[in-house]
A and B are shown apart, each in its own frame.
Chain A
Amino acid sequence: MAAMMRALFAISMLLGAPARGASPIEEAQAAELERVRVEVADEIQLAAYDLVDELIVGWSKDPVFDEPTPVVLAGVTVPVGLGTGMAALLENHISSVLRDNPTSQIQLVHCPACTAVVVQSGPEGTVVSRGIDNPDTLARLGGATGQHALFVDIEAEGSWLVLRARLTQLTPDLPIVWSHTLASPGSSPALLRESRNLKSAAEARQEYLDALRDRGPIQIPVRFAVRTYASPFDDQGIPPPPFIWLQSGVELGATEARAWTASLLVGYSFIPQAYQGLMGQARVSRLVTGRVRSHTRPDLYLFLGGAVMTVWGPATAGFQDTVLNADQIIVALDGEGPRTAFGTFQVGADLRVGNRVGLSTFLEVMPSLRNSPNMGTYVRVLGIGYQSLGTEVTFWF
């Protein structure tokens, strides 16, 4: 018997003993998990704010109550696993946005007894509950009977963040008078709305599209371009030097989305003692990153175009179709040099930011100079040798 008592005592001591200290590995794992939770909470917080804003926009547009009604914020719950710090932030956000939007007809009121645990003993028994779950007791405690309680729950369901809200009337029958569920994919960026001028997501998108369209279909580009020319393969000819161009003209969007654009530009090139040039250029560009140009991320266009150039000056002898001899070079240096006119075709890519600034690069082929001994090719695609490589910086006005 005594042995049995000792064994029972030992077992009870084991069960009652404090938890053993966590190993360093477990502590490191717990710390890492906590870091991940904080990171996720930071990312989800803005999306949760967005859903709260959308909820209150809905109340402002279609109020639940006809007149300002006192409502107790009875509970805000956050995704399981993300702790309660986020709940406090959400409560503050809900209060702040509701205060800034009185048209929602919801007036948050303070009711400590509503969320406190109350105990009611009577002939039927003893009931332990929160005040909001027991309106009779709430009334006896002086709580506001007849008010409404707002419950908000936010949960991460797969890749979706879901907000559920309900309004319950604090009468003995506790009827739910209104409920709503909103969901937002986690990948969509938060709208970060101004709380005093709340807009729905649809309205915000319309404003965004209006902002895109406000500049009209025609724009004036100013472009700085540098063209380089490939050295000949046999090193017998002399390639033209790099050419710097200043171009301007008009660019027309085929639609307001500017998925297709066409441009017509004229350009001038001048380096004292070296060369001068004039050009006319036409291009058609196609947006490849979406169907509508964006204000928030860069847009990539691919383009095809053609140009007609005329160049003259001592350094333009390389645009001739013959191997230059010493006499030709001396004559060119002495006077205005040869004047050459030729056509080109271009293909390239243009990366634009906000349709204000762009960086593009292109390959150019000059059919009339395809057999020129003064020029090689940078790359050959589908039998076409591209003799020139260019880079441009463009500003649109």
Chain B
Amino acid sequence: MNLLVLVAQTLFPYAVRTDPAPGLLRSKAESRSLHCEWLSLSEAERRQPGRLTPVRARGDYAEREVMLCEQQLLAAGTRAPGEDAILASLDATVTALANRTDSLGLDDRVWMVEANHPSAQVASKIAFATKNALMGGGLRVTDRSPTLSAGDVDVITRLGPEESYAAACKRYADNGSLRPGDALLAVMVRDRRETALHSGVCTEGNWAWLR
């Protein structure tokens, strides 16, 4: 009997599977498919109502934090890993970007957004999310896009990333598609292997990297 209790106590942590780390009953692939985040008790209570004991009126006797692990919506391999890495954290990325843009003090401008990614579908997602984040920050945003002539495109695509965005910015201002009251926020990956998004701002023909 005692041996049974001992074995049960030993296996209990594995049986209840509260820890997202791989172990006896959870493979590495299974652990990788989880999306885990630390939450405060109040946030966890809001997200998973009824599953936690709320903080008592006079406080708890111990500091409590919650790690919430949920299955990722799309299984690994459903889409390209590079795209998945960008899209999985898109909301946090564009929110940080909008905060940074907001801090530039260009509130009087009308903002255009341009996104560059090897996948047009992902680029469209990035642009959509960025526009919403800028609107959320109280900025005026337009769906207009600055344009380049075929000759400009031919020249600019031969330049490296450092020069090409600055050159495009100048051409946008010169051809009038980026007006004096406009500002352009460009979001891009500079190398198709990277999963971080870079950004820069173009105002009146002047290009500045934000990130």
Contacts and interface: CB of A to CB of B under 8 A. Distances in A.
Interface string B172-197: 00010000000000000000000000
B132 A181 contact: yes
A174 B144 contact: yes
B50 A291 contact: yes
Nearest to B1: A380
B79 A155 contact: no
A159 B125 contact: no
B149 interface: yes
A135 to B, nearest CB: 10
Contact of B131 (A82, A176, A291): A176
Given A80-B122, A166-B128, A176-B135, A159 B72 contact: yes
B147 interface: yes
Interface string A350-388: 000000000000000000000000000000100000000
B72 A158 contact: yes
Contacts of A80: 79, 83, 87, 119, 121-122, 125
B174 to A, nearest CB: 12
Interface in A56-111: 77, 79-82
B17 interface: no
B78 A33 contact: yes
Interface string B138-182: 001111110101100000000000000000000000010000000
A158 B88 contact: yes
Contact of A158 (B35, B53, B77, B142): B35
Contacts of B70: 159, 185-187
Given A80-B122, A81-B78, A125-B149, A156 B73 contact: yes
Contacts of B147: 125, 127
Interface in A10-51: 33, 36-37, 40, 43-44
Contacts of B119: 80
B75 interface: yes
Contacts of A77: 121, 124-125, 128
Interface in A114-147: 124-125, 127, 132-133
A174 B182 CA distance: 13
Given A33-B78, A81-B78, A187-B71, A180 B91 contact: no
Q: Which residue, A157, A176, A178, has most C-beta atoms of chain B within 10 A?
A: A157
Contacts, number: 127
B129 interface: yes
B33 to A, nearest CB: 10
Contacts of A380: 1
B42 to A, nearest CB: 15
A53 to B, nearest CB: 18
A151 interface: yes
B136 interface: yes
Interface in A184-233: 185-187, 205
B71 A159 contact: yes
Given A155-B87, A155-B125, A174-B142, A180 B132 contact: yes
Contacts of B79: 80-81
Q: Which residue, B143, B145, B175, has most C-beta atoms of chain A within 10 A?
A: B143
Contacts of B89: 157-158
Nearest to B51: A290
A179 interface: yes
Contacts of B57: none
Nearest to A292: B50
A183 B142 CA distance: 23
B118 to A, nearest CB: 12
B90 interface: yes
B47 interface: yes
Contacts of B136: 179, 181
Contact of B47 (A133, A185, A186): A185
B74 interface: yes
Interface string A162-178: 10101010000111101
A160 interface: yes
15 contacts: A40-B75, A125-B149, A149-B143, A153-B124, A153-B125, A153-B129, A156-B72, A161-B73, A174-B142, A175-B110, A179-B135, A181-B132, A186-B73, A290-B50, A292-B50
Given A82-B74, A173-B144, A186-B73, 7 more contacts: A79-B73, A127-B147, A153-B125, A155-B125, A159-B73, A160-B73, A181-B133
